[in-house]
Structure 1
């Protein structure tokens, strides 16, 4: 047999290897008496040494070596011992294969400099190394299995550009045959160098082998292409609707450098503080993930970005045009753009106007923010005065119920059910029964949660006991008859008793939040008044 047995592999090396989304930088197919075995490896090489190393197909370093140590030499007849950190000098190994010579199992490490350069997080469970993109989404950068390592090309090329070193992709593949083969070939090129030779097989049951051994060179880009500070890619800015109508919407870029301001910049452009309006549903993905924190006037993605916005209007959210460009990553701007509304006489909230333009402290208008602030107030007041919380703090696995309480984004039954459940979990289900019973000196252990709260209100001489009792029992009943179980006649009775208009769930849930807010305020006001008289 005299034909080239590696045409398919050479085609892969020439046209694909190193150009894939995931670059194989280490792979070992061990000798298991099968029809093939081989190894792939890599190293970064100094640019000035690249041409010389491509003159020969042999590898420039060995898998498993590369640790620091000592070297010995002679100078003027005198023995000199020198400590070195990198025995390969002109080369840098992105992948280090730790070999313990059978005493312990081998394992793979990634060059520390590479990990720190990209600030990679090591996921111990999967073994992968993870980065985070501009919006904070996880990006898998390195996949590691026992016998294979792949690096995402963009991150590998970025490191090459920063280091100004080229990449050598080493390869060795041996194929075994039952018949005799005697093919040989040598190719030397600036980008691909290899040798092919044949011999007697060492794999049981086979007669001969043919082996290809060599390396491929991929040159680094200029340092400006590394994409890391101060060479980040220029930010892309979306354009948003700021005026006009459906037929002729007026749009403008959110690039802050192109907007007018109070210092005379770009006088013919829209002002930085031009409000841009969005459907409330834009917030759905942020409420659905613990990665985000939504407060009165701010949306945060922990450790990545923070957006100042107006979430105090009942029918929309709004952001100043310049803040969209200044605070939102490019990828996130694309998401927000899909919810963009024509202004059509929409206005920013009074809260936002007072804070942003008049510089005043101004309470939130949104029932969601008002409820959460008052809930924090009563918890702090009660704990400071009595040494225990009126509502037990939720467990870590239940904290999402409190965080998800909000003014509804849609008018759907499913969202109403979810919000009633969250509200009940954080309040009625969390009433501190044991401590409240002791505080009220109630011996009967059959009296629980809502009944204890009614006794508290009665002791405080609340004039709104009946209404607040109806609120608590009504919310609990909505949860019990319609959320925790199949809806039926009892649910309809409860909805009717609470006068909930099922055509406007959004407004009705806001009223439940305000009702709870009134309950907290009533308890604190009466308790404080009782102790000052």
Structure 2
């Protein structure tokens, strides 16, 4: 409910006087005028009332897409017939699948279905709308589906979840990336979902990176007494928070991810604050040079604390940020990335960057703890 009370002063008293009302099932407004008996702007008009704000007349799923909801359940490949080599398909409609209580002569609800990882490109390209985190893909809190990744890098989803959790046209999108099972199952997911075991799952360099950046920002900010990162521009914050593991081995995707990572970790550093660090004598020093001077003067190991940031800066500067020249390969070689695919290069840089930020945070804490 919204309440209204608005008064406007006038140079004269309205004549004739105003006294009106507007009523309905969802609102009640009164509009009237009067005399304040003041020499300065004696007249006034006043609107007072309240209204009920009704919810949007649409199903939540409709808000996520412009299409009319449909009950359409395509058939997905769930296996390969060992006798014929032909795909075995099944509907994903939950009510037609078998479960632990009812055998309908159909595949089980929890049958694992696999997809090429490019299926996620649709979602990683719109970080303001979609999130992929903690083994779950979600859209604005309107719908979400649990996902896993098997040893072959395929995206793993339960057959029944495809029918229960995805809107109809999303199922059509997933169907186009459906592949026969290969490479085994996501063991961590199997332990959690089926066996009910506690498991940490595989390392998550993205979560570690975000946590390490926050730790670094807090620790170094405490040491300096001011923020070491500039305030986010909303568009850059959305893009950085939308960082994701690569969904392909394409150089273009790795380039985009490297640019986002470097922007969020290095470009947003407050260089004026960093120039106040102990050991920094060059008033024109740039961000990484400031950190290096501080680490050197405080007894830290630059190879551990600073080199990973230069590894991040190197591929960005000689690759996606500018024309690629012959120094691009030399940069990769120096960083030990030349033998890796583009997606593997990004994961390696991401991991090294998170480790470096975490170590820098601990180094900063060791500097200000004695004075506490």
TM-score (norm. length: structure 1): 0.53
Residue segments in structure 1 that go unaligned for 5+ positions in a row: 1-68, 70-82, 86-114, 121-130, 140-153, 155-232
The residue aligned with 1:296 is: 134
Q: What is the alpha-carbon distance in structure 2 between the residues aligned to residue 335 and residue 316 of structure 1?
A: 16
1:79 alignment partner in structure 2? none
Taking a change above 3 Å as real, the CA distance of residues 345 and 397 of structure 1, as seen in their structure-2 partners, is: closer
CA distance in 2, matches of 1:460, 1:282: 48
The DSSP-based 3-state class of the residue aligned with 2:306 is: helix
Change (3 A) 1:467 1:531: closer
Distance in 2 (alpha carbons) for counterparts of 1:312 and 1:384: 42
Q: Deviations over 1:155-202 (max 9, x none)?
A: xxxxxxxxxxxxxxxxxxxxxxxxxxxxxxxxxxxxxxxxxxxxxxxx
Distance in 2, Cα, partners of 1:374 & 1:84: 57
Closer, same or farther in 2 for the Cα pair 1:527/1:271, shift >3 Å?
A: farther
**1:119 counterpart = 2:54:** no
CA distance, structure 2, for counterparts of residue 341 and residue 359 of structure 1 = 28
Aligned residues of 1:311 and 1:366 also touching (Cα < 8 A): no
Alignment TM-score, normalising by the size of structure 2: 0.73
Identify which of 230, 236, 239 aligns with 2:72: 236
Equivalent residue for 2:198, pick from 352, 355, 360: 360
Distance 1:234 1:414, change over 3 A: closer
Q: 1:256–1:135: structure 2 CA closer, same or farther, 3 Å change rule?
A: farther
Higher deviation after alignment, 504-513 or 429-438:
429-438
Q: Measure how far apart 1:295 and its partner are.
A: 1.5
What are structure 2's unaligned runs of at least 5 residues? 1-19, 25-52
Q: Say if 1:374 and 1:517, in contact at 8 Å, map to a contact too.
A: yes
1:255 and 1:117, CA in 2 relative to 1: closer, same or farther beyond 3 A? same
The correspondence for 2:311, drawn from 445, 456, 474, is 474
Counterpart in the other structure of 2:114: 277
Q: C-alpha separation between the residues in 2 aligned to 1:510 and 1:134?
A: 36
The structure where strand makes up a greater share of residues is 1
Task: Give the direction of change, closer, same or farther, for the CA distance of 1:417–1:406 in structure 2 (3 Å limit).
Answer: same
Distance in 2, Cα, partners of 1:241 & 1:423: 37
Match of 1:216 in 2: none
Matched, 1:253 2:91: yes
Instruction: State the match for 2:41 in structure 1.
Output: none
> SS where residue 518 of structure 1 aligns?
helix
- For 2:290 and 2:251, how far apart are their aligned partners in 1? 31
| Shift in alpha-carbon separation, 1:249–1:382, aligned structure 2, 3 A | farther
| Aligned residue among 156, 172, 175 for 1:334 | 172
Pairing 1:45-56 to 2, within 5 Å after superposition: none
1:422 equivalent to 2:260? Answer: yes
Relative to structure 1, the CA distance from residue 265 to residue 524 in structure 2 (aligned partners, 3 Å threshold; closer, same or farther) is farther
CA shift in 2, pair 1:420/1:310, >3 Å: same
Report the CA distance between 1:258 and its aligned residue.
2.6
Instruction: Classify 1:261/1:390 alpha carbon distance in 2 versus 1 (closer, same or farther; 3 Å).
Output: farther
Question: C-alpha root-mean-square deviation of aligned residues, in Å?
Answer: 3.6
Which residue of 2 is the match for residue 136 of structure 1? 64
Preserved CA contact (<8 Å) 2:97 2:106: yes
What displacement does 1:394 show? Answer: 2.7
> How far 1:313 sits from its partner (Å)?
5.9
Distance apart, 1:382 and its partner CA: 5.3
Q: Where is the helix percentage greater, Structure 1 or Structure 2?
A: 2
Larger radius of gyration: 1
Q: Deviations over 1:260-285 (max 9, x none)?
A: 334x1236433322222111111111
1:516 aligns with 2:353: yes
Give the Cα–Cα distance (whole angstroms) in 1 for the partners of residues 66 and 345 of structure 2. 38
Distance between the aligned counterparts of 2:263 and 2:342, measured in 1?
A: 19
Go from structure 1 to structure 2 and tell me whether the alpha carbon gap of 1:399 and 1:118 turns closer, same or farther (over 3 Å shift): closer
Secondary structure at 2:64's aligned position in 1?
coil
Higher relative contact order by CA 8 Å / sep ≥ 6: 1 or 2? Answer: 2
Match of 1:65 in 2: none
Whole-Å separation in 1 of the counterparts to 2:134 and 2:124:
14
Kindly provide the CA deviation profile for residues 203-228 of structure 1, in whole angstroms up to 9, marking residues without a partner as x. Answer: xxxxxxxxxxxxxxxxxxxxxxxxxx
Instruction: Tell me how far 1:469 sits from its aligned partner.
Output: 3.0
Q: Contact 1:277 / 1:317 at 8 angstroms: preserved in 2? A: yes
What is the CA distance between 1:512 and its match in structure 2? 0.4
Q: CA deviation at 1:364?
A: 4.7
2:145 matches 1:307:
yes
